[in-house]
Structure 1
Amino acid sequence: MRTFSLLKGLPVYELKKGKKIGEVCDLSISGSGMVKGLLIKKGGLFKKSLLIDIQDVTSFGWDGVMIEDEDKLETLPNTPEFTLDHQHSLQGKIVMTSEGQKLGILEDVYFLEELGTIVGYEISDGFFSDITEGKQVVKTSDSPAIGKDAIIVKVK
Protein backbone atom coordinates (compact mmCIF):
# COMPACT_ATOMS: atom_id res chain seq x y z
CA MET A 1 0.00 0.00 0.00
CA ARG A 2 1.23 3.48 -0.81
CA THR A 3 0.06 6.97 -1.58
CA PHE A 4 -0.17 8.40 -5.05
CA SER A 5 2.29 11.16 -4.11
CA LEU A 6 4.99 8.47 -3.68
CA LEU A 7 4.16 7.01 -7.09
CA LYS A 8 3.96 10.28 -9.00
CA GLY A 9 7.05 10.98 -11.09
CA LEU A 10 8.43 7.43 -10.91
CA PRO A 11 9.91 6.16 -14.17
CA VAL A 12 8.10 3.36 -16.01
CA TYR A 13 10.29 0.65 -17.56
CA GLU A 14 9.57 -2.11 -20.06
CA LEU A 15 10.85 -5.48 -18.84
CA LYS A 16 11.52 -6.94 -22.31
CA LYS A 17 13.99 -4.28 -23.42
CA GLY A 18 14.91 -2.46 -20.20
CA LYS A 19 13.71 0.72 -21.85
CA LYS A 20 12.31 3.71 -19.97
CA ILE A 21 8.83 4.40 -21.32
CA GLY A 22 7.95 7.56 -19.41
CA GLU A 23 6.90 8.71 -15.94
CA VAL A 24 3.77 8.21 -13.86
CA CYS A 25 1.80 11.46 -13.87
CA ASP A 26 -1.66 10.53 -12.56
CA LEU A 27 -4.19 7.84 -11.69
CA SER A 28 -7.28 6.91 -13.68
CA ILE A 29 -10.05 6.39 -11.13
CA SER A 30 -13.52 4.95 -11.73
CA GLY A 31 -16.70 6.42 -10.33
CA SER A 32 -16.76 3.56 -7.82
CA GLY A 33 -13.40 4.66 -6.39
CA MET A 34 -11.19 1.97 -7.97
CA VAL A 35 -7.85 2.78 -9.57
CA LYS A 36 -8.29 1.58 -13.16
CA GLY A 37 -4.85 2.51 -14.45
CA LEU A 38 -1.83 4.77 -14.46
CA LEU A 39 -1.47 7.80 -16.69
CA ILE A 40 2.06 7.96 -18.08
CA LYS A 41 3.75 10.97 -19.66
CA LYS A 42 5.86 9.85 -22.61
CA GLY A 43 8.04 11.77 -24.97
CA GLY A 44 10.45 14.67 -25.06
CA LEU A 45 9.34 18.15 -26.02
CA PHE A 46 5.75 17.26 -26.97
CA LYS A 47 4.74 14.90 -24.21
CA LYS A 48 1.62 12.80 -24.57
CA SER A 49 -0.32 10.95 -21.92
CA LEU A 50 -0.83 7.22 -22.23
CA LEU A 51 -2.81 4.82 -20.08
CA ILE A 52 -1.77 1.44 -18.74
CA ASP A 53 -4.34 -0.76 -17.04
CA ILE A 54 -3.48 -1.47 -13.40
CA GLN A 55 -3.62 -5.22 -14.20
CA ASP A 56 -0.86 -4.80 -16.83
CA VAL A 57 1.66 -3.42 -14.33
CA THR A 58 4.14 -6.15 -13.45
CA SER A 59 5.49 -4.54 -10.28
CA PHE A 60 5.55 -1.33 -8.30
CA GLY A 61 9.02 -0.67 -6.93
CA TRP A 62 10.18 2.21 -4.80
CA ASP A 63 12.39 3.46 -7.65
CA GLY A 64 10.29 2.56 -10.69
CA VAL A 65 7.23 0.87 -12.15
CA MET A 66 7.72 -2.19 -14.36
CA ILE A 67 5.48 -3.24 -17.25
CA GLU A 68 5.85 -6.34 -19.40
CA ASP A 69 5.42 -4.76 -22.81
CA GLU A 70 5.13 -1.24 -24.19
CA ASP A 71 2.33 -2.51 -26.46
CA LYS A 72 0.03 -2.60 -23.41
CA LEU A 73 0.02 1.22 -23.33
CA GLU A 74 -3.10 2.82 -24.79
CA THR A 75 -3.65 6.32 -26.06
CA LEU A 76 -6.41 7.91 -24.04
CA PRO A 77 -9.57 7.05 -25.99
CA ASN A 78 -11.45 9.59 -23.91
CA THR A 79 -10.91 11.51 -20.72
CA PRO A 80 -10.71 9.24 -17.65
CA GLU A 81 -13.81 9.31 -15.44
CA PHE A 82 -11.74 10.81 -12.61
CA THR A 83 -8.08 11.52 -11.98
CA LEU A 84 -6.29 12.68 -8.88
CA ASP A 85 -4.38 15.57 -10.38
CA HIS A 86 -5.56 16.49 -13.91
CA GLN A 87 -8.95 16.70 -15.68
CA HIS A 88 -11.90 15.67 -13.48
CA SER A 89 -9.56 15.94 -10.51
CA LEU A 90 -10.53 14.54 -7.13
CA GLN A 91 -7.76 16.40 -5.34
CA GLY A 92 -9.23 19.43 -3.58
CA LYS A 93 -12.78 18.02 -3.37
CA ILE A 94 -14.65 18.05 -0.07
CA VAL A 95 -14.74 14.69 1.70
CA MET A 96 -17.79 13.97 3.82
CA THR A 97 -19.00 10.99 5.80
CA SER A 98 -22.24 9.23 4.95
CA GLU A 99 -23.55 10.70 8.24
CA GLY A 100 -23.08 14.25 6.91
CA GLN A 101 -19.86 15.28 8.70
CA LYS A 102 -17.35 17.27 6.68
CA LEU A 103 -13.88 15.72 7.07
CA GLY A 104 -11.87 18.17 4.98
CA ILE A 105 -10.30 18.47 1.55
CA LEU A 106 -8.82 15.47 -0.31
CA GLU A 107 -5.03 15.69 -0.64
CA ASP A 108 -3.95 12.14 -1.53
CA VAL A 109 -5.14 8.52 -1.64
CA TYR A 110 -3.74 5.30 -0.19
CA PHE A 111 -4.23 2.34 -2.49
CA LEU A 112 -3.27 -1.29 -2.91
CA GLU A 113 -1.18 -1.18 -6.07
CA GLU A 114 -1.80 -4.69 -7.37
CA LEU A 115 -5.57 -4.57 -6.85
CA GLY A 116 -6.22 -0.90 -7.57
CA THR A 117 -8.32 -0.59 -4.43
CA ILE A 118 -8.34 2.73 -2.61
CA VAL A 119 -8.23 1.98 1.12
CA GLY A 120 -7.69 5.42 2.60
CA TYR A 121 -7.85 9.15 1.98
CA GLU A 122 -5.43 11.80 3.19
CA ILE A 123 -7.49 14.79 4.25
CA SER A 124 -6.42 18.37 4.92
CA ASP A 125 -8.25 20.88 7.08
CA GLY A 126 -6.16 23.77 5.80
CA PHE A 127 -2.57 24.95 6.03
CA PHE A 128 -2.55 26.00 9.69
CA SER A 129 -4.45 22.92 10.83
CA ASP A 130 -1.98 20.71 8.93
CA ILE A 131 0.93 22.37 10.73
CA THR A 132 -0.58 22.15 14.21
CA GLU A 133 -2.47 18.84 14.00
CA GLY A 134 -1.12 17.15 10.86
CA LYS A 135 -3.12 15.68 8.03
CA GLN A 136 -5.85 13.21 8.80
CA VAL A 137 -6.02 9.75 7.21
CA VAL A 138 -9.48 8.28 6.78
CA LYS A 139 -9.68 4.52 6.21
CA THR A 140 -12.61 2.96 4.43
CA SER A 141 -13.55 -0.44 3.11
CA ASP A 142 -16.63 0.51 1.07
CA SER A 143 -16.62 2.25 -2.28
CA PRO A 144 -17.10 6.02 -2.06
CA ALA A 145 -19.81 8.02 -3.78
CA ILE A 146 -17.89 10.40 -6.02
CA GLY A 147 -19.86 13.36 -7.24
CA LYS A 148 -19.36 16.74 -8.82
CA ASP A 149 -19.24 18.52 -5.47
CA ALA A 150 -18.04 15.99 -2.88
CA ILE A 151 -16.72 12.53 -2.11
CA ILE A 152 -18.90 10.64 0.35
CA VAL A 153 -17.17 7.88 2.36
CA LYS A 154 -18.25 5.40 5.00
CA VAL A 155 -15.77 5.72 7.84
CA LYS A 156 -14.65 2.63 9.77
Structure 2
Amino acid sequence: MSLRRKAKPKPVQQKVVDHTLRTCHEVEGFPVYSERTSSYLGTISDICFSLKGDCLGFILAQKRFLHHHHALLRACDISSIFDDRILASVSSEQLLPLPKSCFTYEQMKMKLVKSQEGDILGMLEDVYFCLDRGIIVAYELSDGFFSDLAGSKRQIQRADSLVEVRKDEIVLNG
Protein backbone atom coordinates (compact mmCIF):
# COMPACT_ATOMS: atom_id res chain seq x y z
CA MET A 1 0.00 0.00 0.00
CA SER A 2 1.55 3.25 -1.10
CA LEU A 3 1.24 6.42 0.83
CA ARG A 4 -0.14 9.08 -1.47
CA ARG A 5 -1.11 12.42 -0.22
CA LYS A 6 -4.17 13.91 -1.72
CA ALA A 7 -3.42 17.15 -3.46
CA LYS A 8 -5.44 20.04 -2.18
CA PRO A 9 -7.53 21.61 -4.91
CA LYS A 10 -6.28 25.08 -5.80
CA PRO A 11 -8.84 27.72 -6.53
CA VAL A 12 -8.40 28.88 -10.11
CA GLN A 13 -9.62 32.28 -11.08
CA GLN A 14 -11.42 32.26 -14.39
CA LYS A 15 -12.11 35.27 -16.46
CA VAL A 16 -15.68 35.07 -17.63
CA VAL A 17 -16.27 37.12 -20.75
CA ASP A 18 -19.81 37.98 -21.77
CA HIS A 19 -19.93 39.49 -25.23
CA THR A 20 -23.36 40.41 -26.53
CA LEU A 21 -23.72 40.35 -30.29
CA ARG A 22 -26.14 42.78 -31.90
CA THR A 23 -27.21 43.32 -35.47
CA CYS A 24 -27.57 46.67 -37.18
CA HIS A 25 -31.14 45.89 -38.21
CA GLU A 26 -32.03 45.05 -34.59
CA VAL A 27 -31.05 48.42 -33.06
CA GLU A 28 -32.22 50.81 -35.80
CA GLY A 29 -35.03 53.01 -34.50
CA PHE A 30 -34.25 52.49 -30.79
CA PRO A 31 -34.64 55.61 -28.62
CA VAL A 32 -31.56 56.63 -26.63
CA TYR A 33 -31.76 58.20 -23.15
CA SER A 34 -29.11 59.72 -20.92
CA GLU A 35 -28.50 57.55 -17.88
CA ARG A 36 -27.62 60.57 -15.73
CA THR A 37 -30.45 62.95 -16.59
CA SER A 38 -33.05 60.55 -18.12
CA SER A 39 -33.38 62.99 -21.01
CA TYR A 40 -34.10 61.84 -24.55
CA LEU A 41 -30.96 62.07 -26.75
CA GLY A 42 -32.37 60.90 -30.08
CA THR A 43 -33.25 57.86 -32.16
CA ILE A 44 -30.72 55.50 -33.73
CA SER A 45 -30.81 56.09 -37.47
CA ASP A 46 -27.63 54.22 -38.46
CA ILE A 47 -24.47 52.54 -37.20
CA CYS A 48 -21.02 53.99 -37.90
CA PHE A 49 -17.96 51.79 -38.66
CA SER A 50 -14.33 52.78 -39.16
CA LEU A 51 -12.43 51.83 -42.30
CA LYS A 52 -10.62 49.19 -40.18
CA GLY A 53 -13.90 47.43 -39.33
CA ASP A 54 -14.36 48.79 -35.80
CA CYS A 55 -17.80 49.78 -34.56
CA LEU A 56 -17.44 53.49 -33.74
CA GLY A 57 -20.96 53.91 -32.42
CA PHE A 58 -24.52 54.86 -33.31
CA ILE A 59 -25.69 57.77 -35.43
CA LEU A 60 -28.50 59.55 -33.60
CA ALA A 61 -31.20 61.54 -35.37
CA GLN A 62 -32.18 64.48 -33.20
CA LYS A 63 -35.34 66.26 -34.27
CA ARG A 64 -35.07 70.01 -34.06
CA PHE A 65 -37.70 72.56 -35.06
CA LEU A 66 -37.34 72.53 -38.85
CA HIS A 67 -34.42 70.20 -39.49
CA HIS A 68 -32.88 66.95 -38.27
CA HIS A 69 -29.48 67.05 -36.63
CA HIS A 70 -27.24 63.96 -36.62
CA ALA A 71 -24.65 63.18 -33.94
CA LEU A 72 -22.38 60.25 -33.04
CA LEU A 73 -22.91 58.30 -29.82
CA ARG A 74 -19.60 56.47 -29.31
CA ALA A 75 -19.74 52.74 -28.56
CA CYS A 76 -17.81 53.24 -25.31
CA ASP A 77 -20.51 55.67 -24.06
CA ILE A 78 -23.29 53.07 -24.22
CA SER A 79 -24.24 51.78 -20.77
CA SER A 80 -27.06 49.32 -21.50
CA ILE A 81 -29.06 48.01 -24.42
CA PHE A 82 -32.56 46.86 -23.54
CA ASP A 83 -35.27 45.35 -25.74
CA ASP A 84 -36.87 48.74 -26.40
CA ARG A 85 -34.29 51.45 -25.57
CA ILE A 86 -30.62 52.27 -25.03
CA LEU A 87 -29.06 54.07 -22.07
CA ALA A 88 -25.95 56.21 -22.56
CA SER A 89 -23.51 57.57 -19.98
CA VAL A 90 -23.35 60.99 -21.68
CA SER A 91 -25.57 64.04 -22.02
CA SER A 92 -26.64 65.66 -25.30
CA GLU A 93 -23.78 68.20 -25.05
CA GLN A 94 -21.22 65.36 -25.06
CA LEU A 95 -22.36 63.79 -28.34
CA LEU A 96 -19.83 64.12 -31.16
CA PRO A 97 -20.12 65.28 -34.78
CA LEU A 98 -20.07 62.56 -37.43
CA PRO A 99 -16.56 61.47 -38.48
CA LYS A 100 -15.56 62.11 -42.09
CA SER A 101 -13.64 58.86 -42.68
CA CYS A 102 -16.18 56.15 -41.87
CA PHE A 103 -18.92 54.11 -43.49
CA THR A 104 -22.41 53.32 -42.30
CA TYR A 105 -24.71 50.32 -42.37
CA GLU A 106 -27.03 52.25 -44.72
CA GLN A 107 -24.16 52.57 -47.22
CA MET A 108 -23.39 48.84 -47.01
CA LYS A 109 -26.73 47.00 -46.92
CA MET A 110 -27.95 45.16 -50.01
CA LYS A 111 -24.61 45.61 -51.79
CA LEU A 112 -22.79 42.76 -53.49
CA VAL A 113 -20.07 41.26 -51.26
CA LYS A 114 -16.88 39.91 -52.85
CA SER A 115 -13.75 38.30 -51.49
CA GLN A 116 -10.36 39.87 -52.07
CA GLU A 117 -9.84 37.38 -54.92
CA GLY A 118 -13.04 38.60 -56.64
CA ASP A 119 -15.33 35.68 -55.73
CA ILE A 120 -18.97 36.73 -55.21
CA LEU A 121 -20.11 35.78 -51.70
CA GLY A 122 -23.67 37.18 -51.78
CA MET A 123 -25.59 40.35 -50.89
CA LEU A 124 -25.16 41.98 -47.49
CA GLU A 125 -28.28 41.61 -45.35
CA ASP A 126 -26.99 42.52 -41.90
CA VAL A 127 -23.85 43.10 -39.83
CA TYR A 128 -23.21 41.44 -36.45
CA PHE A 129 -21.13 43.59 -34.12
CA CYS A 130 -19.92 43.39 -30.54
CA LEU A 131 -20.09 46.66 -28.60
CA ASP A 132 -17.99 45.24 -25.74
CA ARG A 133 -15.04 44.73 -28.08
CA GLY A 134 -16.05 47.38 -30.62
CA ILE A 135 -15.62 45.18 -33.70
CA ILE A 136 -17.59 43.66 -36.55
CA VAL A 137 -17.94 39.96 -35.78
CA ALA A 138 -19.82 38.58 -38.79
CA TYR A 139 -21.76 39.46 -41.91
CA GLU A 140 -25.13 37.98 -42.85
CA LEU A 141 -25.28 37.33 -46.57
CA SER A 142 -28.10 36.36 -48.90
CA ASP A 143 -28.14 34.83 -52.37
CA GLY A 144 -31.21 36.88 -53.32
CA PHE A 145 -34.95 37.17 -52.85
CA PHE A 146 -35.90 33.57 -53.65
CA SER A 147 -33.25 32.07 -51.40
CA ASP A 148 -34.51 34.35 -48.60
CA LEU A 149 -38.00 32.88 -49.04
CA ALA A 150 -36.46 29.42 -48.62
CA GLY A 151 -34.76 30.64 -45.42
CA SER A 152 -31.18 30.16 -46.55
CA LYS A 153 -29.06 33.02 -45.22
CA ARG A 154 -25.38 32.55 -44.48
CA GLN A 155 -23.01 34.07 -41.96
CA ILE A 156 -19.43 34.82 -42.89
CA GLN A 157 -17.19 35.05 -39.82
CA ARG A 158 -14.71 37.86 -40.46
CA ALA A 159 -13.58 39.20 -37.11
CA ASP A 160 -10.97 41.95 -37.38
CA SER A 161 -10.98 41.92 -41.20
CA LEU A 162 -10.83 45.09 -43.22
CA VAL A 163 -13.71 46.18 -45.39
CA GLU A 164 -13.58 48.30 -48.51
CA VAL A 165 -16.92 49.84 -49.45
CA ARG A 166 -17.11 50.77 -53.12
CA LYS A 167 -19.93 52.33 -55.12
CA ASP A 168 -21.56 49.02 -56.14
CA GLU A 169 -19.83 46.41 -53.99
CA ILE A 170 -18.10 45.56 -50.72
CA VAL A 171 -14.73 43.81 -50.70
CA LEU A 172 -13.76 41.73 -47.67
CA ASN A 173 -10.02 41.76 -47.07
CA GLY A 174 -8.54 39.08 -44.93
Is this a same-fold pair by TM over 0.5?
A: yes
Partner of 1:29: 49
Q: CA RMSD in A?
A: 1.9
Amino-acid identity (%)? 31
Q: Distance in 2 between matches of 1:94 and 1:138?
A: 14
| Counterpart amino acid of residue 23 in structure 2 | T
| Residues 6-155 of structure 1 aligned to structure 2 (within 5 Å) | 6-44=26-64, 45-70=66-91, 71-76=93-98, 78-85=99-106, 89-148=107-166, 149-154=169-174
Partner of 1:5: 25
For structure 2, the 5+ residue unaligned runs are 1-20
- Structure 1 unpaired stretches of 5+: none
- For 1:55, what is the secondary structure of its paired residue? helix
How much has 1:35 moved relative to structure 2? Answer: 0.9
> How many pairs does the alignment contain?
150
Give 3-state SS (helix, strand or coil) of 2:46's partner. strand
TM-score w.r.t. length of structure 1: 0.85
User: 2:88, 2:62 → 1: CA distance?
Assistant: 14
Inter-CA distance 126–52: structure 2 relative to 1 (3 Å threshold): same
Deviations 1:43-91 (A, max 9, x none): 2552211111111111222221111121321233x54520011xxx111
AA partner of residue 124 (structure 2):
L
Q: Is the radius of gyration larger for structure 1 or structure 2?
A: 2
Tell me the TM-score normalized by structure 2. 0.77
